[in-house]
């Protein structure tokens, strides 16, 4: 471990999907970590050596860190040598970034800051947020000097270092991924590199704070635009009666083409959010990024219309009443093999269908034990695959879970398939 952080304490503010694994990664290297979260229940669970989120292997690492005394959680910040803010940055109505969690976290650590401390913003943030955080801290602590006023001579060092880990692979990616580090000054960056070198094996690449902020937004906007291209192709191919998945496979044989996969839309709390931070700052210039967001956001409506067409076809063929048509929704999570339903297009589609076809929806989601209340309330039920496929007239494939991909079932006679993932077609 770099000498710099031996016998020092690191405080992580926000013990969610990024903060808790980061706290565990520092603690596993023998650094004393104080985790801070506003939620007392989260703090209590962690202090029992348990976790409140689903992430492979995290439970073992947190359990070891807590029982060996390297990680402790609290609701009230305590003095430390480095503070790492990993709080949410959602958007408000009109896609306006909501920095209130960063503001609250900054104000909560300000009273315990002392000369020589390092403050790092890890939350994915609009350009300028790190400078804003520095301004909030400076306003709270006029007795300390900050880099925006004193440059390299400042008492406090400040940097932005966005997280880039993939849910489901967080512990490995935290260690192996390269990190982009944007200090407000050179010394700020140096201090941040020394901190991350405690556990990061990837390269720590130094830039300024605004470039680091934009870099993270660019990564997710780039993926969003690529997925929008695939989703748009799926609409075009549907009109032209071409199998989009075969088309993409063939086009990807070209050495310089790498098209992503269409789906029911883009979910999760990152890719569907972060591009708006760019659009919000530079609306005139961000035409492609905005359009990609709109293309991806409109895909669930297109899928819903496809299901309506299938229901109408069943009715036309059998003469049955539409209210007797049963629909199986295969998968609810925002991507395969996780239990995370946040901003899931599959859930959005299931909810719309349940509104329109009450008591007719059978949901198959192997990663959850109970349906979200909003879906159950609409009369949808959680089923096994066997039960749902025995009864369904229309099957909607929404999430390419491993189990669904590995065993392609034979649908019952007359059943119609709407396959948004191209795995049962
Ligand atoms: N999706 C498609 N087609 C594809 C790939 C993805 O429809 O070909 C959909 C998924 O089904 C899902 C959504 O996109 O609904 C997002 O999934 P994802 O696996 O692309 O990304 P996330 O949201 O789990 O994680 C992303 C990652 N960013 C990039 O890959 C550029 C991760 O590295 C970031 O750390 C994370 O966002 C974050 O926290 O910002």
CA of 148 to the centre of ligand 1 (A): 34
13 in helix, strand or coil?
strand
Whether residues 112 and 255 fall in one domain? no
Give the pLDDT confidence score for residue 94 in this predicted structure: 87
Does 259 lie in the same domain as 128?
Answer: no
| Inter-axis angle of helices 209-240 and 244-251, nearest 10 | 120
Query: What per-residue confidence (pLDDT) applies to 338?
Result: 85
**Cα 100 to ligand 1 centroid, rounded to whole Å:** 25
State whether the beta carbon of 141 lies less than 6 angstroms from ligand 1. Answer: no
Residue 211, in any domain of the structure: no
Tell me whether residue 370 is in a domain.
yes
Provide the pLDDT for residue 53: 86
Residue of 223, 269, 278, 303 to test ligand 1 pocket, by largest number of atoms within 8 Å of CB: 223
Q: How far is the CA of 269 from the centre of ligand 1 (A)?
A: 9
| Atom in ligand 1 nearest the alpha carbon of residue 261 | 8
Decide: 220 in ligand 1 pocket, CB within 6 A.
Answer: yes
422 within ligand 1 shell (Cβ under 6 A): no
Q: Are residues 129 and 163 in the same domain?
A: yes
Residue 76 lies in a domain: yes
Residue 270 CA, chain-centre distance (Å), reads 4
Q: How many CA atoms lie within 13 A of 228 on its CB side?
A: 20
| Shared-domain flag, residues 273 and 392 | yes
The Cα-based distances of 238 to 208, 218, 414 in angstroms read 45, 30, 21
In degrees and rounded to multiples of 5, residue 187 shows phi and psi of -65, -35
Residue 75 forms part of a structural domain: yes
Atom of ligand 1 nearest to the CA of 268: 23
234 and 119 in one domain? no
168 is a domain residue? yes
Which positions ≥6 away from 351 have C-beta within 8 Å?
A: 374, 375, 378
Q: Strand 179-183 to strand 157-160: parallel, antiparallel, or no bridges (unpaired)? A: antiparallel
User: Which residues are known catalytic residues?
Assistant: 216, 270
Instruction: State both tokens at 78.
Output: 């305590």
Question: Are 175 and 115 found together in one domain?
Answer: yes
Residues 8, 115 within the same domain? yes
Instruction: Say if ligand 1 is within 6 A of residue 388 CB.
Output: no
Averaged pLDDT, groups of 10, the chain, 425 residues long: 71 96 96 98 98 90 97 98 97 93 98 98 97 98 97 98 92 97 98 97 98 98 98 98 98 98 95 97 98 98 98 97 97 92 96 97 96 96 97 98 93 96 95
Q: Whose CA is nearest to atom 32 of ligand 1?
A: 166
d(C-alpha 294, C-alpha 302), whole Å:
12
Ligand 1 within 6 A of 217 CB? no
> Domain range holding 298?
222-419
Q: Work out whether the CA dihedral 73, 181, 274, 261 comes out positive or negative.
A: negative
Q: Is residue 380 part of a domain?
A: yes
Q: Is 268 in the pocket of ligand 1 (CB under 6 A)?
A: yes
DSSP letters along 182-237, please? EESSHHHHHHHHHHHTTT--S-EEEEEHHHHHHHHHHHHHHHHHHHHHHHHHHHHH
Pocket test for ligand 1, best of 87, 88, 125, 220 (most atoms within 8 A of CB): 220
Of all protein residues, the one whose alpha carbon is nearest to atom 37 of ligand 1 is 270
* Residue 155 belongs to some domain of the structure: yes
Is 302 exposed, middle or buried (CB count within 10 Å of its CB: 0-12, 13-18, 19+)? middle
Q: Rounded to the nearest whole angstrom, what is the distance from the C-alpha of residue 271 to the centroid of ligand 1? A: 6
Protein residue closest via CA to atom 7 of ligand 1: 263
Cα→Cα distances 174→170, 242, 335, 362, Å:
6, 41, 20, 38
Instruction: Specify the residue with its C-alpha closest to ligand 1, atom 9.
Output: 266
Q: What gap in Å lies between CA 279 and CA 95, rounded to an integer?
A: 9
Rounded Cα distance between 163 and 89, Å, is: 13
The domain boundary residue, chosen from 171, 202, 233: 202
CA distance 270 to 18: 12
Q: Is 260 in the pocket of ligand 1 (CB under 6 A)?
A: yes
**Same-domain pairing of 182 and 233:** no
In a domain, 133, yes or no: yes
- Residue 284 CB-density burial (10 A; 0-12 exposed, 13-18 middle, 19+ buried): exposed
CATH number at residue 153: 3.40.50.720
Distance CA 316, CA 6 (A): 73
123 and 271 housed in the same domain: no
pTM listed for this prediction: 0.94
Which atom of ligand 1 lies nearest, measured to the CA of 216? 40
Per the CB < 8 A criterion, the answer to whether 9 and 79 are in contact is: yes
What's the number of domains the chain is made of? 2
Q: Ligand 1 centre from 29 Cα, in Å?
A: 29
Dihedral sign from CA coordinates of 256, 202, 116, 84: positive
Say how far apart CA 161 and CA 196 lie, in whole Å.
9
Strand, coil or helix: 382: strand
Q: Are strands 361-364 and 381-382 parallel, antiparallel or unpaired?
A: parallel
């Amino acid at each position: 471990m770099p000498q710099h952080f031996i016998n020092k304490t690191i405080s992580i503010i926000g013990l969610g999907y990024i903060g808790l694994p980061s706290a565990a990664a520092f603690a596993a290297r023998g650094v004393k970590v104080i985790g801070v979260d506003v939620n007392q229940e989260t703090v209590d669970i962690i202090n029992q050596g348990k976790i409140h989120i689903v992430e492979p292997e995290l439970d073992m690492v947190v359990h070891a860190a807590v029982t060996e005394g390297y990680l402790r959680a609290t609701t009230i910040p305590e003095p430390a040598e480095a503070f790492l803010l990993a709080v949410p940055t959602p958007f408000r109505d009109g896609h306006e970034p909501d920095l209130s969690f960063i503001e609250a976290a900054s104000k909560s650590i300000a009273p315990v800051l002392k000369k020589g401390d390092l403050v790092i913003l890890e939350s994915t943030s609009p350009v300028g947020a790190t400078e804003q955080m520095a301004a909030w801290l400076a306003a709270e602590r006029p007795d300390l000097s900050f880099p925006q006023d004193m440059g390299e001579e400042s008492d406090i060092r400040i940097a932005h270092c966005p997280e880039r880990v993939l849910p489901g692979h967080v512990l490995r990616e935290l260690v192996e991924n390269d990190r982009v580090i944007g200090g407000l000054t050179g010394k700020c960056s140096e201090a941040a590199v020394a901190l991350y070198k405690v556990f990061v094996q990837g390269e720590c690449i130094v830039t300024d704070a605004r470039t680091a902020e934009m870099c993270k937004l660019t990564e997710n906007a780039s993926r969003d635009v690529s997925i929008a291209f695939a989703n748009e192709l799926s609409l075009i191919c549907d009109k032209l009666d071409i199998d989009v998945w075969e088309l993409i496979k063939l086009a990807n044989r070209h050495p310089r083409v790498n098209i992503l996969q269409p789906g029911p839309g883009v979910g999760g709390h990152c890719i569907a959010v972060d591009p708006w931070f760019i659009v919000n700052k530079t609306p005139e210039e961000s035409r492609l990024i905005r359009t990609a967001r709109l293309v991806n956001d409109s895909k669930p409506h297109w899928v819903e219309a496809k299901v309506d067409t299938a229901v109408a076809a069943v009715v036309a063929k059998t003469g049955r009443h539409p209210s007797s048509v049963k629909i199986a929704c295969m998968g609810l999570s925002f991507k395969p093999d996780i239990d995370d339903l946040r901003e899931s297009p599959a859930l959005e589609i299931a909810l719309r269908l349940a509104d329109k076809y009450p008591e007719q929806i059978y949901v198959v989601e192997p990663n959850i034990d109970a349906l979200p209340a909003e879906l159950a309330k609409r009369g949808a039920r959680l089923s096994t695959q066997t039960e749902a496929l025995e009864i369904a007239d229309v099957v909607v494939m929404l999430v390419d879970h491993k189990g669904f991909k590995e065993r392609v079932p034979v649908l019952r006679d007359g059943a119609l398939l709407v396959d948004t993932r191209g795995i049962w077609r």
